[in-house]
Amino acid sequence: MVEENGLKDLIACHTRISSIIDDHLAYAGYDISELMDNQASFEETIYLLWNLRLPTASEYEKFTSELRANYEISDAVEQCILIQSRKHLHPMSVLRSTVSLLGVYNVHAEERSLEATYEQSIQLMAKIPTIIATFARLRNGQTPIAPRNDLGFAENFLYMLTGKEAQAIEIEALNKALILHADHELNASTFAARVCASTLSDIYSCVTTAIGTLKGPLHGGANERVFDMLQEIRACGDTEAYLQQKLASQEKIMGFGHRVYKKQDPRESYLRQMAKELTQKTEHEIWYQLSREIEDYMKHSKGLIPNVDFYSATVYHVLGIDSSIFTLIFAMSRVAGWIAHIQEQQGFNKLIRPRSHYLGPEKLSYIPLERRSYA
Ligand SMILES: CC(C)(COP(=O)(O)OP(=O)(O)OC[C@H]1O[C@@H](n2cnc3c(N)ncnc32)[C@H](O)[C@@H]1OP(=O)(O)O)[C@@H](O)C(=O)NCCC(=O)NCCS
């Protein structure tokens, strides 16, 4: 049955934004290796997803200036993040409600013209890193750091998070991780965003819907759990015994398996290489070594491949990002893809409203409350 199958292999829309063909991921026709191997920036990737072509030098200049001019968040939004910065609140819930709030504070949020949609898109894209860094610092009892509009997307984020200018290798690693997570065809959160867009709802509602969907451990929440697992394995000291026990109790090993990729997740090899380079000869080397042990065991015992979340856990940890906000980093990148899909859906809209196959009883008679009982 379709629902038991999770709509597996069902084509639900047409798109020009990204494709997965023979285990190759491409953005608007560019294989991700083209972007990775030619040192593309994340900003160029956003432009590509939104415009279906790479920018010229002057377009790039204008686009990055617009993003940088919108990095800042208002005091009102910062205050709301402060209220939500308690440790027990789930970081993705905080991001979800803060993005929703951006829509409340934007007086033009209900406008649907191309210009208004573009402005809303730029604002969302530019402010989400500031929201995340502000939240991460407030939650740790630190003062938020204002964005610097002389810095690019990845560099500015690391600066706001740590208060220090990041090293070139760190900026490159985050830039690449952001590119690799930016879009992924009709994944669950993108589908959710498109369903919301198809009702002609506003862009803030669509992105809020997508964040709620990405939050789940079977989608974006996996990399946070990958790092928990690495820490548990380090503490237990026996990778094989740990995995055997988990698999014997039917638990899923986070960061493995994929709905679409069965031989290789094309994003994973770049993240593995980054994890290797960033950890080499540092105190963090252990995380890379343990990851390799887990990968070998999972391949041989279950034939399962690591996915994008597996090595990104080590990369983010080395960049000084707390595991509790890993999924927020995913959202910070994927919002580029969500917005592209929302705009595409708006451009050729048809309400997405499938049918369900009813399995319950039919033609029941109403029994008054006082006579109603169930055996
Ligand atoms: C990504 C995922 C949801 C894909 O799910 P799916 O296409 O519905 O595949 P299934 O869950 O049906 O898995 C097929 C088989 O592989 C097994 N399997 C898949 N992923 C597994 C994992 N991470 N650990 C252990 N076993 C796994 C399933 O138990 C199932 O075995 P069975 O046929 O004996 O029942 C699934 O692989 C998963 O839960 N992975 C862990 C979470 C994760 O890393 N998510 C990030 C995705 S990018």
Verify that 206 and 225 share a domain, yes or no. no
Instruction: Yes or no: say if 32 and 180 are a contact pair by the CB < 8 Å rule.
Output: yes
Query: Is residue 259 lining ligand 1, measured as CB closer than 6 Å?
Result: yes
The single-letter DSSP state of residue 363 is S
The preferred substitution site among 258, 326, 330 for testing ligand 1, maximizing ligand atoms within 8 Å of CB, is 258
pLDDT for 166: 96
The preferred substitution site among 7, 186, 218 for testing ligand 1, maximizing ligand atoms within 8 Å of CB, is 218
Verify that 230 and 204 share a domain, yes or no. no
Is residue 347 scored above 90 in pLDDT? yes
Is residue 1 scored above 80 in pLDDT? no
Write the CATH number for 208.
1.10.580.10
pLDDT for 221: 82
* 280 domain residue, yes or no: yes
Verify that 190 and 80 share a domain, yes or no. yes
Q: What would the mean pLDDT of 115-142 be, rounded to a whole number? A: 97
Percent of the chain with pLDDT over 90: 90
Binned at pLDDT 50, 70 and 90, residue 145 comes out as very high
Verify that 257 and 338 share a domain, yes or no. no
The single-letter DSSP state of residue 369 is G
* 7 domain residue, yes or no: no
Q: What would the mean pLDDT of 255-267 be, rounded to a whole number? A: 91
Q: Which residues are catalytic?
A: 258, 309
359 token code pair: 């399995």
pLDDT digits (tens, 9 = 90+) for 303-316: 999 999 999 999 99
Is residue 193 scored above 90 in pLDDT? yes
Verify that 115 and 242 share a domain, yes or no. no
Verify that 187 and 58 share a domain, yes or no. yes
The preferred substitution site among 225, 227, 230, 252 for testing ligand 1, maximizing ligand atoms within 8 Å of CB, is 252
| Helix boundaries (H) for the chain | 32-37, 42-51, 57-69, 75-83, 91-105, 114-139, 153-162, 168-181, 188-198, 203-214, 222-236, 239-248, 268-279, 285-302, 308-318, 326-347
Verify that 142 and 257 share a domain, yes or no. no
| Nearest residue to 32 via CA among 320, 337, 344 | 337
pLDDT for 218: 84
Verify that 92 and 200 share a domain, yes or no. yes
Query: Is residue 297 lining ligand 1, measured as CB closer than 6 Å?
Result: no
Query: Is residue 257 lining ligand 1, measured as CB closer than 6 Å?
Result: yes
Q: How far does residue 258's CA lie from ligand 1's centre (Å)?
A: 6
Q: CA-based diameter of the chain, in Å?
A: 76
Atom of ligand 1 nearest to the CA of 307: 48
Instruction: Please name the residue that has the structure tokens 């196959």.
Output: 357
Instruction: Yes or no: say if 106 and 74 are a contact pair by the CB < 8 Å rule.
Output: no
Find the angle CA(219)-CA(221)-CA(225) to the nearest 5 degrees: 125
Verify that 99 and 86 share a domain, yes or no. yes
Verify that 302 and 209 share a domain, yes or no. no
Query: Is residue 309 lining ligand 1, measured as CB closer than 6 Å?
Result: yes
Q: How far is CA 324 from the centre of its chain?
A: 14
Q: How far does residue 261's CA lie from ligand 1's centre (Å)?
A: 11
pLDDT for 217: 83
Q: How far does residue 49's CA lie from ligand 1's centre (Å)?
A: 29
* 143 domain residue, yes or no: yes
Write the CATH number for 227.
1.10.230.10
Kindly give the interhelix angle for 203-214 and 188-198, rounded to the nearest 10 degrees.
150
pLDDT digits (tens, 9 = 90+) for 213-250: 999 888 888 888 999 999 999 999 999 999 999 999 99
Cα–Cα separations (whole angstroms), residue 25 to 37, 132, 267, 313: 14, 27, 8, 21
pTM for this prediction: 0.93
* 335 domain residue, yes or no: yes
Query: Closest Cα to atom 47, ligand 1: which residue?
Result: 219
* 275 domain residue, yes or no: yes
pLDDT for 146: 98
Q: What would the mean pLDDT of 20-28 be, rounded to a whole number? A: 95
Number of structural domains in the chain: 2
Query: 98-132: string of b/e by CB count within 10 Å (b at 16+)?
Result: bbbbbbeebeebeeeeeebbebbbbbbbbbbbbbb
Verify that 35 and 172 share a domain, yes or no. yes
* 374 domain residue, yes or no: no
Query: Is residue 218 lining ligand 1, measured as CB closer than 6 Å?
Result: yes
Q: How far does residue 269's CA lie from ligand 1's centre (Å)?
A: 19
Q: How far is CA 343 from the centre of its chain?
A: 18
Atom of ligand 1 nearest to the CA of 308: 48
Phi, psi dihedrals of residue 306, rounded to the nearest 5°: -70, 145
> In which domain, by residue range, is 70 found?
18-216+323-348
pLDDT for 2: 57
Binned at pLDDT 50, 70 and 90, residue 157 comes out as very high
Task: From 276, 303, 319, give the residue that closes a domain.
Answer: 319
Which residues are CB-neighbours of 270 under 8 A, at least 6 positions away?
Answer: 32, 36, 176, 180
Find the angle CA(24)-CA(27)-CA(33) to the nearest 5 degrees: 55
Instruction: Yes or no: say if 7 and 180 are a contact pair by the CB < 8 Å rule.
Output: no
Verify that 90 and 136 share a domain, yes or no. yes
pLDDT for 315: 96
Query: Is residue 124 lining ligand 1, measured as CB closer than 6 Å?
Result: no
Task: From 319, 338, 368, give the residue that closes a domain.
Answer: 319
